[in-house]
Amino acid sequence: MPLLAGLAALPAFAAAPTAPVPAWSEPSPPHAIYGNAYQVGSKGLSSILITSPQGHILIDGTWTGNAPLIEANIRKLGFRVEDIKVILNSHAHFDHAGAIGALQKDSGALVRATAAGAKAMTLGGRDPDDPQFDSTTKDAFPTFPVTGDIVDGTVVTVGPLKLTAHITPGHTPGGTAWTWDSCEGSTCKHIAYVDSLYAFALGSYRYSDHPAYVAAYWKTFDRVASLPCDILVTPHPEQGAGKTCKAYAQDGRDHLKQQLEDEKNGT
């Protein structure tokens, strides 16, 4: 898991033939999460489709080269890519936002993000405020138009769909979790798509040099632990598999504690 998350932090390849983790560029069969919520991503990377007769919402685009895989999965489920009205994001690293530009072009959807997330997207993922920013790389994912209007508590609507934003800075400055209800018949469940919570740094970045950022990070764990969360889904599916939001938040706390301890000890 640390290896996957660390590789997820690496810079994007603008025209790379394969993903840094090879499985990330391989197809994975789409499947229902619950009700009208579907997993349409590739192996190891989530892309979440929430559907309605009035149009759909997609969260995350996975790796830069994966738009054809996601679109094929959407069509396998019997839905039209062109009916996606809004595209949202968990965080603007290449393995979660890289294909959003292509998906936006093919669907005509509006991309919405937090101000920090939109900033990172307009930089192709090369945000100097990101703990995992690598100043030596010239690689980035393709940029695209994005509206940076999402704040904590924003409700994104498409027809009957209502997704609520929960700002979760830490893994990146623009990290965002999304919650909504999906129903099967008269039984509805609270679904939480929660951003990556693990603390990783590249280059000379030290979390302990940024106390305000660390303070916001601690609040993220409390926010995630209190989410309405019958079903947890995460950008790397294996990170949240079988966990509650509270357990996932505790994993994040433990990882940040270890990161700060390592920085204190110079390791």
> Which of these is catalytic: 106, 129, 205, 213?
205
Helix (H) or strand (E) holding 259: helix 245-265
CATH 3.20.20.120 assigned to 2-265:
no
> Which of these is catalytic: 60, 95, 127, 181?
95
Chain segment 11-38, per-residue pLDDT in tens: 332 333 356 788 899 999 999 999 999 9
Angstrom CA distances, 66 to 43, 120, 171, 223, stand at 10, 20, 23, 31
> Which of these is catalytic: 34, 60, 83, 93?
93
Q: Is 56 a catalytic residue?
A: no
Residue 12 has a pLDDT of 31
Chain segment 110-151, per-residue pLDDT in tens: 999 999 999 999 999 999 999 999 887 766 899 999 999 999
Q: Is 166 a catalytic residue?
A: no
With b meaning 16 or more CB within 10 Å and e meaning fewer, what string describes 230-247? Answer: ebbbbbbeebbeebbbee
Q: Is 236 a catalytic residue?
A: yes
pTM above 0.95, yes or no: no
> Which of these is catalytic: 34, 38, 96, 127?
96
> Are residues 117 and 174 in contact, defined by beta-carbon separation less than 8 angstroms?
yes
> Are residues 120 and 140 in contact, defined by beta-carbon separation less than 8 angstroms?
no
Q: Is 205 a catalytic residue?
A: yes
Instruction: Quote the Cα angle for 11-265-170, to 5°.
Output: 40
Q: Is 210 a catalytic residue?
A: no
- For the residues 199-226, what does the mean pLDDT come to? 96
With cut-offs at 50, 70 and 90, classify the pLDDT of residue 206.
very high
> Which of these is catalytic: 34, 83, 127, 171?
171
Domain segments of the chain: what residues?
Answer: 2-265
* Alpha-carbon dihedral angle through residues 66, 69, 71, 77, given to the nearest 10 degrees: -140
